[in-house]
Amino acid sequence: MRPLCVVVGLMLAGRAAHAQSPRAGGPAPGDDPSSRVAVEGALSGNIARGFVDRELISARGILQAWSGPLGFYVQPYWLYGRVGTPMGKLTTDNEVYVRTGVFRALTGPLFAYGVTVYDRSVRRQIEHRNLAGAGLGVTLWQCKGSSLLSSVGVLHEVADYGGKLDKAPLLEDGREGGGLRNTARWSIRIYGRYKLADGKLNLLHDLIVIPSFRDPSDDYRVLFYGAIDAPIAKGFSARISADATREGLIVAGTKHDDLAITFGVAYKNEWPPKPPPK
């Protein structure tokens, strides 16, 4: 029997079998200086029946608010998957990722930001991982709805690999992953959003690199998100996007790389402030 794929929600998506969450692609200063509240969401699922029974569902959203020099956003993501085995259903994915950030415009193209991140993953054997920090950035170029910016920051991470397992998992460097692991990290981000063909196409790219101070060549994370939107109606657009992650330090037996390629329809809505009565 050929696999049957069912995709539902605001985005219809084709997804790599081992895809993880899109962790980049959130809002950034320079997109739109006007005060507003905006919401964007997507829900996708996949059901396969045949040699391997597989079920997968994911949900993503962004809530952002901007007022003058201040900006705030929350970016949650959830992915759940399971496969059928002779012994019954086996959970392969149960990942939660929530990124929260604030921005503050300074002088000229400079801005400051603060960010917190929480994530957990069954397949990566991460019981929980908390990241918090702050940094500075600069808008390198901005023109008619297009912008390019870069930022650097310092972060502190607390991670628990294995969680409630009876035996702590081994990391690839040979150390046990049990208990809380504290790591100091730094980050660099390159973000761009561009309007092309007189606004008929929107291109976005977001690259975030997060190495550790102690061992940047082996203990690092790379997050990438790229998308092309073609507006088709108010709030709706056809979209093709790619999400990729790479982690240097992982639990032995898990994967370094993940990739998700999605295409379909996206929806976004914004609410500008009401003008004062005359």
Q: How far is CA 220 from the centre of its chain?
A: 16
Global pTM value: 0.77
**Domain ranges, ordered by start, for the chain:** 36-270
Range from 100-104, 107-111, 157-161, 231-235 carrying the lowest mean pLDDT = 231-235
Report the pLDDT value the prediction gives residue 161, as an integer from 0 to 100: 80
- The average confidence (pLDDT) of the chain is 77
The H helix count followed by the E strand count for the chain is 0, 12
Range from 102-111, 113-122, 229-238 carrying the lowest mean pLDDT = 229-238
Residue 156 has pLDDT above 90, yes or no: yes
20-35: pLDDT as tens digits: 333 455 666 655 556 7
Give the span between the Cα atoms of 121 and 89, in whole angstroms.
Answer: 18
Report the pLDDT value the prediction gives residue 21, as an integer from 0 to 100: 34
Report the pLDDT value the prediction gives residue 116, as an integer from 0 to 100: 95
Report the pLDDT value the prediction gives residue 165, as an integer from 0 to 100: 57
Report the pLDDT value the prediction gives residue 25, as an integer from 0 to 100: 57
Residue 276 has pLDDT above 70, yes or no: no
* CATH number assigned to the domain covering 36-270: 2.40.160.40
Contact 45, 26 (CB under 8 A): no
